[in-house]
Amino acid sequence: MRGNLWNERLETAMRAAREAGAALLAHPSFTVTHKSANDYVTDADRGSEERIRSILLGEWPQDGFLGEEEGESAGRGGRWIVDPIDGTTNFIFDLPLYTISIAYEEAGELVLGCVYCPRLDEMYTAVRGQGAFCNGKPIRVRENAVLRDALVGMSFAHRSERAGERMLRAIPLLREGCSDMRRLGSAALDLCFVACGRYDAYVELALYIYDIAAGMVILREAGGVVEAWPGDAQPVEKSGNVFASSRAIHEPLRELLACVPEK
Protein backbone atom coordinates (compact mmCIF):
# COMPACT_ATOMS: atom_id res chain seq x y z
CA MET A 1 0.00 0.00 0.00
CA ARG A 2 2.75 2.42 0.95
CA GLY A 3 4.65 1.52 -2.22
CA ASN A 4 1.63 2.42 -4.34
CA LEU A 5 1.38 5.83 -2.67
CA TRP A 6 5.11 6.36 -3.13
CA ASN A 7 4.79 5.56 -6.85
CA GLU A 8 1.91 7.99 -7.16
CA ARG A 9 3.98 10.66 -5.47
CA LEU A 10 6.88 9.89 -7.78
CA GLU A 11 4.63 10.54 -10.79
CA THR A 12 3.73 13.92 -9.27
CA ALA A 13 7.40 14.69 -8.61
CA MET A 14 8.35 13.84 -12.18
CA ARG A 15 5.62 16.11 -13.54
CA ALA A 16 6.73 18.95 -11.25
CA ALA A 17 10.38 18.48 -12.26
CA ARG A 18 9.57 18.49 -15.98
CA GLU A 19 7.38 21.58 -15.72
CA ALA A 20 10.00 23.41 -13.67
CA GLY A 21 12.69 22.33 -16.13
CA ALA A 22 10.71 23.57 -19.11
CA ALA A 23 10.23 26.92 -17.39
CA LEU A 24 13.97 27.22 -16.72
CA LEU A 25 14.81 26.44 -20.34
CA ALA A 26 12.36 29.11 -21.48
CA HIS A 27 13.47 31.70 -18.93
CA PRO A 28 14.63 34.70 -21.02
CA SER A 29 16.35 36.62 -18.21
CA PHE A 30 16.85 36.60 -14.47
CA THR A 31 18.28 38.63 -11.62
CA VAL A 32 21.08 37.37 -9.40
CA THR A 33 21.61 38.14 -5.71
CA HIS A 34 23.99 36.80 -3.05
CA LYS A 35 22.65 34.66 -0.24
CA SER A 36 26.15 34.49 1.26
CA ALA A 37 29.74 34.43 0.03
CA ASN A 38 29.97 32.23 -3.08
CA ASP A 39 26.29 31.28 -2.79
CA TYR A 40 23.81 32.79 -5.24
CA VAL A 41 20.08 32.84 -5.82
CA THR A 42 18.10 34.01 -8.85
CA ASP A 43 14.45 34.83 -9.37
CA ALA A 44 14.44 31.66 -11.50
CA ASP A 45 15.28 29.62 -8.36
CA ARG A 46 12.35 31.18 -6.53
CA GLY A 47 10.00 30.77 -9.47
CA SER A 48 11.02 27.13 -9.89
CA GLU A 49 10.39 26.41 -6.21
CA GLU A 50 6.97 28.10 -6.30
CA ARG A 51 5.98 26.05 -9.34
CA ILE A 52 7.15 22.78 -7.75
CA ARG A 53 5.48 23.55 -4.43
CA SER A 54 2.19 24.35 -6.16
CA ILE A 55 2.19 21.06 -8.07
CA LEU A 56 3.28 18.83 -5.18
CA LEU A 57 1.02 20.32 -2.52
CA GLY A 58 -1.82 20.76 -4.99
CA GLU A 59 -1.79 16.98 -5.44
CA TRP A 60 -0.77 16.08 -1.87
CA PRO A 61 -2.02 18.92 0.38
CA GLN A 62 -1.45 16.97 3.59
CA ASP A 63 2.33 16.84 3.07
CA GLY A 64 5.01 19.09 4.48
CA PHE A 65 7.50 20.90 2.27
CA LEU A 66 11.16 21.90 2.70
CA GLY A 67 12.56 24.06 -0.08
CA GLU A 68 15.97 25.67 -0.38
CA GLU A 69 14.60 29.15 -1.01
CA GLU A 70 11.45 29.53 1.11
CA GLY A 71 12.16 27.14 3.95
CA GLU A 72 9.83 24.66 5.60
CA SER A 73 6.08 24.34 6.05
CA ALA A 74 4.66 21.60 8.24
CA GLY A 75 2.13 19.02 7.11
CA ARG A 76 0.18 16.05 8.44
CA GLY A 77 1.85 13.53 6.12
CA GLY A 78 5.42 13.07 4.96
CA ARG A 79 7.72 15.82 3.74
CA TRP A 80 8.91 16.90 0.29
CA ILE A 81 12.55 18.06 0.15
CA VAL A 82 13.26 20.24 -2.87
CA ASP A 83 16.18 22.03 -4.48
CA PRO A 84 14.59 24.03 -7.32
CA ILE A 85 17.93 24.53 -9.08
CA ASP A 86 20.82 22.43 -7.83
CA GLY A 87 23.77 24.08 -9.51
CA THR A 88 22.60 27.70 -9.56
CA THR A 89 26.07 28.95 -10.53
CA ASN A 90 26.02 26.63 -13.56
CA PHE A 91 22.57 27.99 -14.44
CA ILE A 92 23.79 31.59 -14.15
CA PHE A 93 26.76 30.94 -16.44
CA ASP A 94 24.71 28.87 -18.90
CA LEU A 95 26.57 25.67 -18.10
CA PRO A 96 24.18 22.76 -18.80
CA LEU A 97 24.85 20.75 -15.63
CA TYR A 98 22.11 21.94 -13.29
CA THR A 99 19.16 19.96 -11.98
CA ILE A 100 15.82 20.01 -10.22
CA SER A 101 15.98 17.72 -7.17
CA ILE A 102 12.86 16.40 -5.42
CA ALA A 103 12.78 13.82 -2.61
CA TYR A 104 10.05 12.53 -0.35
CA GLU A 105 10.57 11.61 3.29
CA GLU A 106 8.17 9.54 5.38
CA ALA A 107 8.56 8.89 9.10
CA GLY A 108 12.09 10.28 8.92
CA GLU A 109 13.16 7.96 6.07
CA LEU A 110 13.88 9.02 2.49
CA VAL A 111 11.64 6.88 0.27
CA LEU A 112 11.77 8.38 -3.22
CA GLY A 113 13.98 10.60 -5.32
CA CYS A 114 13.62 12.44 -8.61
CA VAL A 115 16.48 14.39 -10.21
CA TYR A 116 15.93 16.05 -13.59
CA CYS A 117 18.61 17.69 -15.74
CA PRO A 118 16.66 19.82 -18.26
CA ARG A 119 19.58 20.52 -20.59
CA LEU A 120 20.45 16.81 -20.89
CA ASP A 121 16.77 15.76 -20.69
CA GLU A 122 17.75 13.06 -18.20
CA MET A 123 15.25 12.09 -15.50
CA TYR A 124 16.70 9.97 -12.68
CA THR A 125 14.15 8.30 -10.41
CA ALA A 126 13.94 5.77 -7.59
CA VAL A 127 11.44 4.46 -5.06
CA ARG A 128 12.79 2.56 -2.07
CA GLY A 129 12.94 -1.16 -2.79
CA GLN A 130 12.16 -0.78 -6.51
CA GLY A 131 15.51 0.03 -8.14
CA ALA A 132 16.80 3.14 -9.90
CA PHE A 133 16.16 4.43 -13.40
CA CYS A 134 17.23 7.05 -15.95
CA ASN A 135 14.51 7.96 -18.43
CA GLY A 136 12.73 4.75 -17.45
CA LYS A 137 15.70 2.42 -18.02
CA PRO A 138 17.32 0.60 -15.05
CA ILE A 139 20.70 1.89 -13.87
CA ARG A 140 23.39 0.36 -11.65
CA VAL A 141 26.69 1.46 -10.19
CA ARG A 142 29.89 0.32 -11.90
CA GLU A 143 30.84 -2.71 -9.84
CA ASN A 144 34.09 -3.75 -11.57
CA ALA A 145 36.05 -0.67 -10.48
CA VAL A 146 39.15 -0.63 -8.30
CA LEU A 147 40.07 2.58 -6.51
CA ARG A 148 43.26 3.20 -8.48
CA ASP A 149 41.23 3.21 -11.71
CA ALA A 150 38.26 5.13 -10.30
CA LEU A 151 36.84 8.43 -11.50
CA VAL A 152 35.77 10.45 -8.46
CA GLY A 153 33.45 13.44 -8.37
CA MET A 154 34.27 16.11 -5.81
CA SER A 155 33.92 19.79 -5.02
CA PHE A 156 35.51 22.50 -2.86
CA ALA A 157 32.92 23.03 -0.10
CA HIS A 158 32.59 26.64 -1.17
CA ARG A 159 29.97 27.49 1.47
CA SER A 160 32.26 26.81 4.43
CA GLU A 161 35.87 27.97 4.84
CA ARG A 162 36.65 25.24 7.36
CA ALA A 163 35.10 22.49 5.22
CA GLY A 164 36.84 23.91 2.16
CA GLU A 165 40.21 23.65 3.88
CA ARG A 166 39.46 20.05 4.84
CA MET A 167 38.52 19.27 1.24
CA LEU A 168 41.76 20.76 -0.01
CA ARG A 169 43.66 18.44 2.33
CA ALA A 170 41.82 15.50 0.76
CA ILE A 171 42.72 16.36 -2.82
CA PRO A 172 46.37 15.17 -2.79
CA LEU A 173 45.26 11.82 -1.33
CA LEU A 174 42.52 11.46 -3.93
CA ARG A 175 44.95 12.41 -6.69
CA GLU A 176 47.35 9.68 -5.59
CA GLY A 177 44.73 7.07 -4.82
CA CYS A 178 42.36 7.25 -7.79
CA SER A 179 42.56 7.73 -11.54
CA ASP A 180 41.12 11.25 -11.84
CA MET A 181 38.62 13.73 -10.39
CA ARG A 182 35.79 15.89 -11.73
CA ARG A 183 33.80 18.83 -10.37
CA LEU A 184 30.34 19.30 -11.92
CA GLY A 185 28.73 21.83 -9.58
CA SER A 186 25.51 19.91 -8.87
CA ALA A 187 25.60 17.45 -5.97
CA ALA A 188 22.34 15.82 -7.09
CA LEU A 189 23.80 15.12 -10.53
CA ASP A 190 27.08 13.90 -9.02
CA LEU A 191 25.19 11.29 -7.01
CA CYS A 192 23.19 10.24 -10.07
CA PHE A 193 26.39 9.89 -12.10
CA VAL A 194 27.69 7.43 -9.50
CA ALA A 195 24.33 5.63 -9.70
CA CYS A 196 24.54 5.15 -13.46
CA GLY A 197 28.26 4.29 -13.57
CA ARG A 198 29.64 7.51 -15.05
CA TYR A 199 31.51 8.04 -11.78
CA ASP A 200 32.77 5.49 -9.29
CA ALA A 201 32.44 7.79 -6.27
CA TYR A 202 31.55 11.26 -5.08
CA VAL A 203 32.94 13.07 -2.02
CA GLU A 204 31.98 16.49 -0.70
CA LEU A 205 31.59 18.40 2.57
CA ALA A 206 29.06 20.81 4.10
CA LEU A 207 26.10 20.14 1.83
CA TYR A 208 22.45 20.60 2.81
CA ILE A 209 19.76 17.94 2.88
CA TYR A 210 17.99 19.41 -0.16
CA ASP A 211 21.26 19.08 -2.14
CA ILE A 212 21.53 15.35 -1.55
CA ALA A 213 18.22 13.79 -0.49
CA ALA A 214 16.92 12.72 -3.91
CA GLY A 215 20.34 11.62 -5.19
CA MET A 216 20.90 9.50 -2.10
CA VAL A 217 17.73 7.49 -2.72
CA ILE A 218 18.65 7.00 -6.37
CA LEU A 219 22.22 5.91 -5.64
CA ARG A 220 21.22 3.49 -2.91
CA GLU A 221 18.61 1.91 -5.16
CA ALA A 222 21.29 1.59 -7.88
CA GLY A 223 23.42 -0.53 -5.54
CA GLY A 224 25.68 2.18 -4.16
CA VAL A 225 26.58 3.30 -0.66
CA VAL A 226 26.05 6.80 0.77
CA GLU A 227 27.23 7.74 4.23
CA ALA A 228 29.08 10.40 6.19
CA TRP A 229 32.87 10.82 6.09
CA PRO A 230 34.84 8.50 8.38
CA GLY A 231 34.96 9.81 11.92
CA ASP A 232 31.95 12.10 11.63
CA ALA A 233 29.74 12.15 14.72
CA GLN A 234 26.55 12.78 12.70
CA PRO A 235 24.95 10.81 9.84
CA VAL A 236 25.24 12.21 6.34
CA GLU A 237 21.70 13.62 6.44
CA LYS A 238 22.77 15.89 9.32
CA SER A 239 26.43 16.58 8.55
CA GLY A 240 26.14 17.05 4.79
CA ASN A 241 29.58 15.42 4.50
CA VAL A 242 28.99 12.99 1.65
CA PHE A 243 30.98 9.85 0.95
CA ALA A 244 29.23 7.99 -1.87
CA SER A 245 30.54 5.14 -3.98
CA SER A 246 29.97 1.76 -5.53
CA ARG A 247 30.40 -1.10 -3.08
CA ALA A 248 33.47 -2.27 -5.01
CA ILE A 249 35.61 0.66 -3.84
CA HIS A 250 33.78 1.63 -0.68
CA GLU A 251 36.25 0.26 1.86
CA PRO A 252 39.51 1.43 0.19
CA LEU A 253 38.00 4.89 -0.32
CA ARG A 254 36.88 4.96 3.31
CA GLU A 255 40.45 4.17 4.38
CA LEU A 256 41.75 6.98 2.19
CA LEU A 257 39.30 9.56 3.55
CA ALA A 258 40.04 8.45 7.13
CA CYS A 259 43.58 9.76 6.58
CA VAL A 260 42.34 13.31 5.89
CA PRO A 261 42.87 15.45 9.01
CA GLU A 262 39.92 17.59 10.10
CA LYS A 263 42.24 20.48 11.01
Residue 179 has a pLDDT of 94
Instruction: Judge if pTM exceeds 0.85.
Output: yes
Residue 93 domain-assigned? yes
User: What is the average pLDDT value for the chain, to the nearest integer?
Assistant: 92
3 state DSSP class of 153: strand
Query: How far from the centroid of its chain's Cα atoms is residue 11's Cα?
Result: 19
pLDDT digits (tens, 9 = 90+) for 213-261: 999 999 999 999 999 999 899 999 999 999 999 999 999 999 999 998 8
**Residue 217 CB: number of other CB atoms within 10 A?**
29
Pick 40 or 41 by higher pLDDT. 41
3 state DSSP class of 148: helix
Residue 1 has a pLDDT of 43
pLDDT digits (tens, 9 = 90+) for 153-179: 998 887 778 888 999 999 999 999 999
Q: How many domains does the chain have?
A: 2
Residue 122 has a pLDDT of 98
Residue 120 has a pLDDT of 97
67 band by pLDDT with thresholds 50, 70 and 90:
very high
Pick 174 or 77 by higher pLDDT. 174
Task: List the CATH number of the domain containing 181.
Answer: 3.40.190.80
Residue 101 domain-assigned? yes
The number of C-alpha atoms within 13 Å of 9 and in the hemisphere containing its C-beta is 30
Residue 36 has a pLDDT of 56
**Same domain flag for 177 and 251:** yes
**Same domain flag for 49 and 175:** no
Residue 263 domain-assigned? no
**Same domain flag for 18 and 58:** yes
pLDDT digits (tens, 9 = 90+) for 135-157: 999 999 998 779 999 999 998 88
The domain of 58 spans: 2-139
**Same domain flag for 112 and 6:** yes
117 and 195 in contact (C-beta within 8 Å)? no
Query: How far from the centroid of its chain's Cα atoms is residue 259's Cα?
Result: 25
Task: List the CATH number of the domain containing 21.
Answer: 3.30.540.10
